[in-house]
Amino acid sequence: MRKKFDRVSQFKITLKRIKPPIWRRIHVPETYTFWDLHVAIQDVMGWLDCHLHHFEILNPSTSMKEEIGIPDEDFEWDRSILPGWKQKISDFFSRDHSKSDYIYDYGDHWEHTVKLEKMLPRQEDIKYPVCIGGKRACPPEDSGGPWGYEDFLAAIANPDHEEHEEWLDWVGGSFDPEHFDIKKVVFADPAKRLRYALG
């Protein structure tokens, strides 16, 4: 049963170390957990949710940085990772504490800035979450992080590059880094994704 909510949070998600910027703007229910927000970010950015992730955010009640995501005993951290499905975004994000880092894929290490821009009244005729804006395509999974992605773009743009054909085959024949179609954004059910993730 979905939780009732009266307000929505407007977030802007920007991929770090990429120019021109790759970004998305979304509205999500104020009742969301960090797991719910993670799923929305994956879907709106265009990631496939096949790697680990966590948020790094200041806990306003302790003034300590917290890491929130999927606890994993195979990785050692300075602090334990809190389970995202047990942490509410409303307990961390506010006007005074509006930013978080979101790290996806510890190999490629894609870093995002997640910024709470404002709170808005819920509109009854809208199904949330919803994407209201964005620019540029999400990099392909496993493309090597920001620096690997830069090499990938250079290779596919230059027919004389020694890896041109290999990269094009790998990406499926074509890739337009400037393309983003807001109409093709589809949001998954966070509860179903969690059941799958936890087995």
The 10s digit of each residue's pLDDT in 87-123 is: 999 999 999 999 999 999 999 999 999 999 999 999 9
Q: How far apart are CA 164 and CA 151, in angstroms?
A: 10
The whole-model pTM stands at 0.94
- Residues 97 and 160 occupy one common structural domain: no
Please check whether residue 20 lies inside any domain of the structure. Answer: yes
- Residues 100 and 149 occupy one common structural domain: no
116-166 pLDDT tens trace: 999 999 999 999 999 999 999 999 999 999 999 999 999 999 999 999 999
- Residues 118 and 167 occupy one common structural domain: no
- Residues 171 and 186 occupy one common structural domain: no
- Residues 98 and 21 occupy one common structural domain: yes
Please report, for the domain that includes residue 101, its CATH number. Answer: 3.10.290.30
- The model's confidence at residue 79, banded by pLDDT at 50, 70 and 90, is low
pLDDT value, residue 2? 63
23-52 pLDDT tens trace: 999 999 999 999 999 999 999 999 999 999
Domain around 146:
139-175
pLDDT value, residue 197? 87
pLDDT value, residue 1? 44
- Residues 21 and 98 occupy one common structural domain: yes
With CA atoms as reference, report the closest residue to 20 among 195, 187, 194, 149: 149
Please check whether residue 2 lies inside any domain of the structure. Answer: no
Note the Cα 195 to chain centre separation in Å: 19
Please check whether residue 103 lies inside any domain of the structure. Answer: yes
Please say if the pLDDT value at position 84 is more than 50: yes
Please say if the pLDDT value at position 15 is more than 90: yes
| Structural domains counted in the chain | 2
Q: How far apart are CA 82 and CA 111, in angstroms?
A: 19
- Residues 74 and 143 occupy one common structural domain: no
With CA atoms as reference, report the closest residue to 138 among 31, 53, 15, 19: 15
**E strands present in 4-109:** 7-15, 23-29, 53-59, 64-69, 81-83, 99-104
Percent of the chain with pLDDT over 70: 95
Please check whether residue 129 lies inside any domain of the structure. Answer: yes
171-189 pLDDT tens trace: 999 999 999 999 999 999 9
Residue 24 dihedral angles phi and psi, to the nearest 5°: -140, 150
- Residues 21 and 88 occupy one common structural domain: yes
**E strands present in the chain:** 7-15, 23-29, 53-59, 64-69, 81-83, 99-104, 110-121, 130-135
Please check whether residue 1 lies inside any domain of the structure. Answer: no
- Residues 67 and 27 occupy one common structural domain: yes
